[in-house]
Amino acid sequence: MSRTRAILNFLVLGLLSATLAYAASTEPATAQTGTTLVQNRAKPDLLLNVQGGRPLATPASRGATTAHWSIEPASEAGYLRLRNVGTGFHLHAEGGRLQAGAIQPDWLSAQWGLEYVEGNTDARIKNRATGGYLHNADGPLVVGPAAADALASVWKLVPVGAPAREVLPAPPRGGCGGRWHWKDGRYVCMRSCPPGYHPVGGVCYKNCPPGFHPKGNACVKHCPAGFHPVGNTCVKNKPACPVGQHLSKGHCCPNGKNWSNALKKCV
């Protein structure tokens, strides 16, 4: 009897293990933390994503990992790399053409700088090697020249998991001695903002989640001194060089000289 019971227990445990393994394999993948959505300013329904190995700006699910990007600091302060979570590919412009794929560590074409738009956290994404901007002004997503006022070259960096912030219409002009609060599809004049909201000018906006603080009507990540937020990641600021010097590989060198990693000095 004891031997029969032992065999039965072994079979039950084996069946349970197989069932759990199958359940795990069929459970949908969850998004990784610390990743970012890159949303087009001109057309907010378009997200930077990778499909068929190609970088695109198209409508995509906010939960799709092919539309999630990991921000990786590059070797020089002020630059970063964009790695697609779903494919593992990096965004780059090797040969002057926008691509997603494997890169070499020293490729400047896989490094990007952010030029922030005054007054908010949206940014233009500039390729270090080509000097071109990521944009879709002419339809397809490319890297190339773009006018400074072209909203198609401006991108919002949204932490994955953050709720989509409602774009509010302009509040009425005057007529409210307190704060305008958007409720049930219309503005309501209130003496002060309700709990869970904070004022920006004369309008109430939802409070930011822990680890973030308001900047205008957006939420940005807390970063230590010398760093700035890029989505869910803090990136080191570019150093400011004095007059007569320029930035070379993260170091300030006299004009006409460049930093040598081998010699550890400007030559």
We report the CATH number of the domain holding residue 59 as: 2.80.10.50
User: In terms of domains, do 182 and 133 share one?
Assistant: no
User: In terms of domains, do 41 and 92 share one?
Assistant: yes
Residues 236-249 as b or e (16 or more Cβ within 10 Å = b): beeeeeeeebebbe
* For the chain, percent of residues with pLDDT exceeding 90: 35
User: In terms of domains, do 181 and 86 share one?
Assistant: no
Residues 15, 9: Cα–Cα separation, whole Å:
10
- Asked, for residue 8, whether it belongs to a domain, the answer is no
Residues in a beta bridge with 72: 81
User: In terms of domains, do 79 and 202 share one?
Assistant: no
Q: Rounding to the nearest 10 degrees, give the CA dihedral for residues 249, 254, 256, 262.
A: -40
User: In terms of domains, do 246 and 143 share one?
Assistant: no
- Asked, for residue 96, whether it belongs to a domain, the answer is yes
- Asked, for residue 139, whether it belongs to a domain, the answer is yes
Residues in a beta bridge with 197: 206
pLDDT at 128: 92
Burial class of 259 by CB neighbour count within 10 A (0 to 12, 13 to 18, 19+): middle
Residues 6+ apart with CB under 8 A from 108: 128, 129
Residues 30, 150: Cα–Cα separation, whole Å:
35
**Scanning the structure block, which residue is given the tokens 């060198």?**
253
Residue range 127-142, pLDDT digits in tens: 999 999 999 999 999 9
- Asked, for residue 28, whether it belongs to a domain, the answer is no
Residues 209, 20: Cα–Cα separation, whole Å:
35
Residues 173, 165: Cα–Cα separation, whole Å:
23
pLDDT at 50: 97
User: In terms of domains, do 48 and 156 share one?
Assistant: yes
**Rounded mean pLDDT of 16-26?**
31
pLDDT at 2: 47
- Asked if residue 105 has pLDDT above 80, the reply is yes
pLDDT at 19: 31
Residue span of the structural domain in which 81 resides: 36-162+223-236
- Residue 161 or residue 180, greater confidence: 180
Number of domains in the chain: 3
**Rounded mean pLDDT of 168-186?**
81
Give the helix/strand (H/E) hosting 247: strand 245-248
pTM of the complete model? 0.60
Q: Mean pLDDT over all residues of the chain?
A: 79
User: In terms of domains, do 192 and 98 share one?
Assistant: no
pLDDT at 48: 97
